[in-house]
């Protein structure tokens, strides 16, 4: 009698053979982001930049010290030489009220005390104030160069018309003008640069305040104080 083959049993769903060898993928070393190298590169760059900035500052300080010791630069000396009024007219019954019209000639002496350096001036603008009346910027001269140990007289022509004032101020001005006791303030704005025949430094802005509160009588008799220089909001006497 022929034997029948044993039927192969089907494995049920979800069957798991625990005796079968398990397959594990080969272990790999985790790949970390390259933060260490970036930080090291960034730190090196910051250190290099700091050293470069320090070197530049040292060079600037050394150059400035050498320039000062070698050339010994000095600011110019200003002096209000004279102030004259060819025309000083009061108008009482003007269309807009009392007014003042003036013509003045301002003479300012500028001395270059430097023994090596020349001085280069840009355009000069003069402002005038008499008592409480501010005439503003009323005259100017073109820029010029001044050689070492040189003295130059700069002449400003002032022409201001119909500046309105109050009736009370007008009466005071007339009385004080008659007695030559009007107080005058003269201000000059310009920029100066040191230089030689070969090279020139960048100009710096200055404001010159001449004889703050001097009277006509004092100016005519040369009884006035010297001018003060306002450099970067610091006064240099």
Neighbours of 119 (CB within 10 A): 25
Per-residue DSSP letter, 224: -
Per-residue pLDDT reduced to its tens digit, 76-92: 999 888 888 888 888 88
**Of residues 143 and 222, which shows the higher confidence score?**
143
Neighbours of 203 (CB within 10 A): 17
By C-alpha distance, which of 123, 152, 158, 118 is closest to 138?
Answer: 158
pLDDT interval class at 237 (50, 70, 90):
very low
Per-residue pLDDT reduced to its tens digit, 159-193: 888 888 888 888 888 888 888 888 888 999 999 99
**Mean confidence (pLDDT) of the chain:** 80
**Of residues 73 and 39, which shows the higher confidence score?**
73
pLDDT at residue number 26 = 58
pTM: 0.69
């Amino acid at each position: 009698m022929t034997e029948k083959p044993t039927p192969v049993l089907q494995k049920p769903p979800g069957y798991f053979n625990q005796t079968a060898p398990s397959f594990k993928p080969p272990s790999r070393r985790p790949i970390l982001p390259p933060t260490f190298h970036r930080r090291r590169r960034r730190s090196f760059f910051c250190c290099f930049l700091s050293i470069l900035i320090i070197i530049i500052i040292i060079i600037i300080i050394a150059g400035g010290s050498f320039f000062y010791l070698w050339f010994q630069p000095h600011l110019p000396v200003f002096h209000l030489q004279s102030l004259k009024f060819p025309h000083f007219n009061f108008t009482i019954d003007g269309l807009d009220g009392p007014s003042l019209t003036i013509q003045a000639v301002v003479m300012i002496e500028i001395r270059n005390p430097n023994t090596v350096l020349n001085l280069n001036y840009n355009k000069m603008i003069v402002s005038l104030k008499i008592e409480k009346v501010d005439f503003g910027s009323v005259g100017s001269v073109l820029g010029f160069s001044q050689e070492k140990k040189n003295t130059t007289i700069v002449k400003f022509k002032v022409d201001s018309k119909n500046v309105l004032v109050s009736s009370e101020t007008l009466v005071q001005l007339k009385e004080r003008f008659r007695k030559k006791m009007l107080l005058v303030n003269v201000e000059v704005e310009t920029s100066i640069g040191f230089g030689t025949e070969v090279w020139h430094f960048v100009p710096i802005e200055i404001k010159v305040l001449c004889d703050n509160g001097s009277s006509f009588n004092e100016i005519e008799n040369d009884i006035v104080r010297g001018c003060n220089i306002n450099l970067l909001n610091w006064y240099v006497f």
